[in-house]
Amino acid sequence: MIQRKSTQKIIGIFFFLFFILSLTRSAQAEQQTAPLWTPEDVVARPTVAISDISSDGKYTLMGVSYRSIKDGKSIEFSQCTLINNESLEKKIIGDEKNSCVQPYFIKSDEKFTYIIYNNQTYKSVLCVEETGSPKKRQIQEIPSNLINYRFAPDSKSFAFILEESPQTPARSIEGERQDKKQSLYLQKVDVDFQCIGEPQQLTSSKLNMASLSGSSTYIWSPNSQKIALVTQKPGWNLPAAFSLAVLNVDQGTFKTIDETRGVFTSVRFSPDSQKLAFIKGEDFGEQKSPLKPLKDVASTIQIIDLNTGKAESFSAEDIWNIAGWTADGQKIVGIKQVGTKQKIYQFVIQSKELTFKELQDLPVIHSLVFSQNQKHLGFLGENFYHPSELYVTSFEDFNPKQIRTGNEKINLSQIQAKSLKWKSFDGVEIEGILVYPQNYIVGQKVPLIVSIHGGPSAVESEGFVGDTWFGSYCPAVFSSLGYATLVVNYRGSIGYGTKFSNLNYQDLGRGDYQDIMAGIDFLIKEGIADPDQLFITGHSYGGFMTAWAVGHTNRFKAAVMSAGISDWISHVSLTDAPRPMEALFGGFYWDNYDLYRKASPLSYVDDIKTPTLILQGAQDQRVPISQAQQMYQALQGKNVPTQLLLYVNQAHDFSNPLVVIDSLKEKIKWFDKYKK
């Protein structure tokens, strides 16, 4: 009996050895073939953006940005592409030396304009060209600090923003905005697009156009008589005071429509120019102690009748933007987050009915653009396996047509990915996305990199796995090297309703952390994740979550904290955006010191054993470097293996292609070091 048992055991060991050997062999074979998706691939692909669509739906204007590395330096340039949506014929403007940006149709789509600037000298010209028969004509040189122009729909004038960089002072006074000053100007042109007279400054020298990244701060009314604009009061930036006004262009008069300490985005005129729709950001109001929780200050959609001043307000729950009004003036259309999907919504103003335009195989829609007459739509759509592609359609006969931009050749369907849901400690349902290692065989237990998004009011969607998600981790790169990736829409994320996104109120690092750990346990239970090969990383709030996690468990073999917060008390005074902290904590630390202290990863540094790499942009204003330094000093002091890499010219979002590549490589190097 005893003998038989030991024989079995021996066989067992041999079998095991053989298994190991074969694994090693296949691993070697895998290493010899190039990985499916490398950090270099992440930045090599051009990024497309839709700029305008003609009112007849026949033409699309697109911006394409190229990033490449030459001799260790990153080279970036942009092209404008005019596409005939029927013949798919393309006209490309711009090259490595001269970038083309901001292409728009004018003069009822007969012509289009764009800016060409020299990539070295930034010398810029504004060009106009015929849409049908391309015959380029330069209309004028423009200052290189012109950052945004739009022609009036009647094409008789154009508005533009000039940006003045502040001079470097010998002494800089804290609290005075260091922003570049932005002023709005108007230039009249004749029928040949020659300038008539000097440009006229529309905003006074005291007023500064709001600098909202990725969002235009002014818009023409369809009747060309008005401009709606968002301005920002100068001075102390804590109560960032934004103002939305409508300018009567002929009379030069301003009328303030609304003010907020949050932000205004997606300002859109109704087709008759009589109404304005916009999203009003969370307005915290005057500082009170303790501050109202987030749920009382959520964003709203506002629709204001400019004649009567009558305003209607709707919840903007999980709504990303308003792309425009429908031609009948009855609905507004835009993008809404629904779980891990981004959908086109239409909202009927009268009935408050919200419906979606469902699209097969395109879970993520963005960059929705209406034609001037509101009848045609262009947008970008993507899924796990294919990067963003351009689609155009009539709004009424909704039937999107794919316009191939070159990205269709990319197919990462060798990598499986899926959304999945699990229950957290308190029964709350949490959704996440699992990206399997390349060529995953069912039943394999694999190393898992849990990657945590920032925000916390942000979300992971079912987008292309070959992009950097949250600017910090690329699931396809991890998959190519045998890692699975789990991203988690922990409580506080958007896309699941206001109640869910407020569940983290005064609870940072508690519930959200358990949501993440429950997801990991779920994958272990499912037999996918190897419990002895767990890794964690995250950027910004995700970096905080990473630092928090290693202070609360030793289950992770290694961690990479990227632009994360380690000490909320110092952070709140140093970040350029303290208001969200005030809202999340329900006040500042002097109102509740213990809450801030207990939420700070540094308070748990005594328990940290996990080797932790720290990545940080040296120019980060959102999460300044002291957060990384404090974490590093603590880990060093506790003799925990650590390294802090400071990217010299990098701000909060790791956008420099060199940094994208290097940070991914460093991350992999760190995880590989602690992988079995």
Partner 1 sequence: MVFLRILLGCCMLISICKSSLHAEIQAKDFSPNTIQKQLLATRYISLIELSPDNKHLVLLYTHPNIFSSPQEQSSQWENRVAVKNNYASEKAHEVEFQTKGVVSSPGWTVDSKWISYINQGDKFASLWISPPEEYKPQKILELENNNIIEYRWSPDGKKLAVLVDIPPSNQSAIKINYSIGTPALYVLYIFDVDAKMKISNQILLTPENIAFANNKGNQFNWTPDGQNIVLSHAPLENGKASKFSQISLIPIKTQHLQTIEKGEGTYVSPLVSPDGKFVAYTTNDLPENAQNPIRLYEVDSSRICVTDLKSYEKKCLAKTPNENPFSIGWGKESRSLFVGDQEGNAHHIYELDLDGKALRRLTQDEYSLRCASLNSSRDMISYSAENLQTPSEGYVSPIDPFEPKKVVSALPSLLKNDFVVEKIQWKSKDDKFNLDGLFIYPKTTQQNSSFPLLTILQDYFSFLPPLGYVGDLSFIPLSYAALLEKGYALFIPNRRGSNGYGVQFRQALFKNLGNEDYEDVMTGIDHLIKEKKVDPQKLALWGWGYGGYLTAWTLIQTDRFKALVIGQGIVDPIAQIGTTNEPAFLEAVMGEPYWNDWQIWREKSSLSHIKSAKTPTLLQYGEYAETIFPSQGKELYFPLRTLGVPVQMISYQNQANVFSSPHITLLALQDLEEWLDTHLGFQPPEKKENNK
The phi and psi torsions of 627 (rounded to 5 degrees) equal: -60, -45
What secondary structure does DSSP assign to 625-666, as a single string? THHHHHHHHHHHHTT--EEEEEETT--SS--SHHHHHHHHHH
| HSE of 198, CA atoms in CB hemisphere, 13 A | 3
Please give the helix or strand (H or E) that residue 517 lies within, else none.
helix 511-525
CA pair distance 339, 38, nearest whole angstrom: 29
Residue (127 or 631) nearer to partner 1, CB: 631
Please give the helix or strand (H or E) that residue 25 lies within, else none.
helix 2-32
Question: Binding string, 578-607, against partner 1, x = CB under 8 A?
Answer: x---------xxx--x---x----xx-xx-
Q: Does 644 bind partner 1 (CB under 8 A)?
A: yes
Considering only 172-180, 429-437, 468-476, 480-488, which stretch makes contact with partner 1 by CB under 8 A? 172-180
- At its nearest, how many Å lie between partner 1 and the CB of residue 631? 8
The greatest distance separating any two alpha carbons of the chain, rounded to the nearest whole angstrom, comes to 105
What secondary structure does DSSP assign to 570-582, as a single string? HHHHHSS--HHHH
Q: Does 158 bind partner 1 (CB under 8 A)?
A: no
CA pair distance 155, 355, nearest whole angstrom: 35
Site for partner 1 in 549-578 (CB under 8 A): 566-567, 569-570, 572-574, 578
Whether the CB-CB separation of 333 and 370 falls below 8 Å is answered with yes
Residue (83 or 605) nearer to partner 1, CB: 605
Whether the CB-CB separation of 619 and 589 falls below 8 Å is answered with no
Binds partner 1 by CB under 8 A, chosen from 4, 34, 121, 169:
169
CA pair distance 10, 287, nearest whole angstrom: 72
Residue (140 or 619) nearer to partner 1, CB: 619
CA pair distance 436, 430, nearest whole angstrom: 19
Q: Does 639 bind partner 1 (CB under 8 A)?
A: no
Size of the site for partner 1 (CB under 8 A): 55
- At its nearest, how many Å lie between partner 1 and the CB of residue 418? 35
Binds partner 1 by CB under 8 A, chosen from 55, 145, 498, 626:
626
Residue (470 or 589) nearer to partner 1, CB: 589
Site for partner 1 in 401-460 (CB under 8 A): none
Residue (169 or 427) nearer to partner 1, CB: 169
Q: Is the peptide bond before 456 cis (omega within 30 degrees of 0)?
A: yes
Q: Which residue has the tokens 């429908």?
A: 326
Residue (95 or 607) nearer to partner 1, CB: 607
Q: What is the 3-state secondary structure (H, E, C) of 278-333?
A: EEECCCCCCCCCCCCCHHHHCCEEEEEECCCCCEEEEECCCEEEEEEECCCCCEEE
Whether the CB-CB separation of 606 and 561 falls below 8 Å is answered with no
First to last CA, the chain: 36
Residue (373 or 553) nearer to partner 1, CB: 553
CA pair distance 489, 472, nearest whole angstrom: 16
Residue (394 or 643) nearer to partner 1, CB: 643
Q: Does 656 bind partner 1 (CB under 8 A)?
A: yes
Residue (210 or 628) nearer to partner 1, CB: 628
Binds partner 1 by CB under 8 A, chosen from 28, 72, 87, 197:
72
Residue (375 or 622) nearer to partner 1, CB: 622
CA pair distance 84, 627, nearest whole angstrom: 50
Question: Binding string, 278-317, against partner 1, x = CB under 8 A?
Answer: ---------x------------------------------
Residue (9 or 638) nearer to partner 1, CB: 638
On the 0-12 / 13-18 / 19+ scale of CB atoms within 10 A, 639 is: exposed
- At its nearest, how many Å lie between partner 1 and the CB of residue 485? 24
Computed on alpha carbons and rounded to an integer, the radius of gyration of the chain in Å comes to 27
- At its nearest, how many Å lie between partner 1 and the CB of residue 560? 14
CA pair distance 582, 596, nearest whole angstrom: 10
CA pair distance 536, 558, nearest whole angstrom: 7
Binds partner 1 by CB under 8 A, chosen from 634, 652, 664, 668:
634
Residue (430 or 602) nearer to partner 1, CB: 602
Q: Does 172 bind partner 1 (CB under 8 A)?
A: yes
Q: Does 236 bind partner 1 (CB under 8 A)?
A: yes
- At its nearest, how many Å lie between partner 1 and the CB of residue 581? 11
Whether the CB-CB separation of 512 and 545 falls below 8 Å is answered with yes
DSSP 388: -
Q: Does 75 bind partner 1 (CB under 8 A)?
A: no
Q: Does 167 bind partner 1 (CB under 8 A)?
A: yes
Whether the CB-CB separation of 69 and 46 falls below 8 Å is answered with no
Q: Does 8 bind partner 1 (CB under 8 A)?
A: no
Binds partner 1 by CB under 8 A, chosen from 368, 415, 631, 668:
631
Q: Does 165 bind partner 1 (CB under 8 A)?
A: no
DSSP 166: P
Q: Does 618 bind partner 1 (CB under 8 A)?
A: yes
Q: Does 30 bind partner 1 (CB under 8 A)?
A: no
Q: Does 630 bind partner 1 (CB under 8 A)?
A: yes
CA pair distance 93, 77, nearest whole angstrom: 11
Length of the chain: 676
Residue (175 or 309) nearer to partner 1, CB: 175
Binds partner 1 by CB under 8 A, chosen from 194, 313, 355, 649:
649
Considering only 312-320, 450-458, 507-515, 652-660, which stretch makes contact with partner 1 by CB under 8 A? 652-660
Considering only 4-12, 43-51, 225-233, 620-628, which stretch makes contact with partner 1 by CB under 8 A? 620-628
Give the residues lining the site for partner 1 (CB under 8 A).
72, 167-175, 236, 238, 287, 566-567, 569-570, 572-574, 578, 588-590, 593, 597, 602-603, 605-606, 618, 624, 626, 628-634, 636-638, 643-650, 656, 658-659, 662
